[in-house]
Each structure stands twice: as structure tokens, then as C-alpha cells.
Amino acid sequence: DPDAGLVSGQEGVVVVDAPHGYRNLLLKLVHGYKWILRHRDVGYFLRTDVDCILPLNELVHLTAAVGSEGGRLVAQRWDGELCDSNVMGRQHEDSVLACQTRCSTNPGCTYFSMQGVPGLCWLHLDCESRRSMPGTTTFEYSVRRALNARPAPGKAAQDDGNVFVLGTILERNEVLLDDHHNPQWNSGAVASELGLTHYPPYPEATGYAFPALLARFLTGLPDGLFWRTGTVEDALMGILLAGLQ
């Protein structure tokens, strides 16, 4: 990077030797993760773009809380039942993840239900009572408890061994082939070599957190093997993670 000298030597900044260029972003990250894992004792990583501002105090607490929940943002509670109290809204959604996203962006939502997939997405303030509704699955948005709790001052996040990605997860995005406004996003190789018309769900690069275990997975290829490059880094992360449980 021709501008690396502007930050080299500054406190809290590490400059690693990695290929330059937009389509090498994943390799840059892998080199950075390797350095951090080698020189620091860390539990979690937060990846974000340089022009994004994130609420770090909230994220440190929230990341640890999600880890303690087994790495799950949601918990499946009841099959064939729908919360019968404090309905906050309903609308058609294509997937459970889309319904979860709808709940996550509503500050009062603690439970959501999917009546078929695709089907009706129900949002609930609570679930004090339920009624029978065949074909419906109700979930608790578990992370809401952590969002509403205040972190203990100075409490550091620890890796509890659970694997998760905490952030905005994009799904069913078409593989870009002919974007003239942002040609660097085009991913012809994903279509031609992998036969994909849509990217697997992937974390949006504006900011996402994950445990060190995932960083070790990304940096653990044996000599002679390399991750695929040449496509958008965040979408590529979705491809790499798609085979993991």
C-alpha cells in the first residue's frame, strides 16, 4: 500500500506485508490475524471498514454475551405455537433470517415467529401466552437480554469456544457480473468456477465480530494452499464459512 508509511510506527497500528489491491482484502486480513494471534492473547476479533464508527463499549459486552449464549443470537422455543400477546407487527418474509433481522432492528422485539418459510413473520414484545398455530415456529431473540443489560466496567470479552459471527448478515444477494458503477465488486469467477448465481449468506463488511477460533481457521492453511481471491472480501467470507457448522 503506497500510503502505509502514513500510519507505520503509530501506537496501536500494525503494518503487515501483504499483497495490495481491493481484490486481495481477504489476504490482508489473514496476514493481520496471523500477526495478532502470534503476538497477542485475544478472545475475539472485530473487522470493520476504516470509514465506519462503531460503539465499541457496547460491542465488547455484546460479543461476550453472545459467546456465553453458545454463539446463538436466537433460540428456537416452540414448534406449532405462536405468541399470543403484544404483537408488534407482521409481514411476509422469505426466510427465518429475514424475520430475525426484522426483529433485531426493532428495539422492543424479544420474540419472533415464522408461519411457514416463506411466510408470515410475527414480532412480539414478549411471549407471556401462546396459542396453537400449525406450521409456525417461535424463536426468542436471545441477544436482546444482553442488549438491555449494561456491561460491568472494564470487563473484557473472553472466547468461550463458541463459533459465531455477530453483525449484519446479508443473504440471497445475486453474484455481481456487470456492475459498471463499482466494477471491483464483480465476481465472474464465483459464477463460472463455482456455478453460483447468489452468494451464500455473508457478514457485511461495515463491521462484524467473531471468536479467535475462526481467525485461527482462516490463518491455518498448510503451506502451499491459499484462499481464493479475486472477489468481494465480505462475500468471499460467506463462501469460506458456508461449510462450517
What is the three-class DSSP state of 151?
coil
Query: Has residue 214 got a pLDDT over 90?
Result: yes
Q: What is the pLDDT of residue 71?
A: 66
**Quick check: helix, strand or coil at residue 190?**
helix
Question: How distant is the alpha carbon of residue 14 from its chain centre?
Answer: 24
pLDDT value of residue 154: 47
pLDDT of residue 189: 83
**Average pLDDT, integer, range 238-242:** 89
pLDDT per position as a tens digit, 19-78: 888 888 888 899 999 999 999 998 899 998 888 888 887 788 788 777 776 667 788 899
Nearest CA to 242 among 223, 217, 211?
217
- CA angle in degrees (0–180, nearest 5) for 122-123-127: 105
**Above 50 in pLDDT, residue 184?**
yes
Cis before residue 118, ω within 30 degrees of 0? Answer: yes
Q: Is 236 helix (H, G, I), strand (E, B) or coil?
A: helix
Q: Within 10 A of 212 (CB to CB), how many other CB atoms are there?
A: 18
- For the chain, the average pLDDT equals 85
Q: How confident is the model at residue 150 (pLDDT cuts 50, 70, 90)?
A: low
Enter the pTM of the model.
0.75
pLDDT at 185: 82
Task: Give the list of residues 6+ apart from residue 45 with CB closer than 8 angstroms, or none.
Answer: 33, 36, 209, 210, 211, 212, 214, 215
pLDDT at 159: 57
Per-residue pLDDT, 72: 72
Please give the pLDDT value at position 112: 94
Instruction: Report the alpha-carbon distance of residue 102 to residue 81 in Å, rounded.
Output: 20
Q: What pLDDT digit, counting tens, does each position of 191-206 carry?
A: 888 888 998 999 988 8
Residue 94: strand, helix, or coil: coil
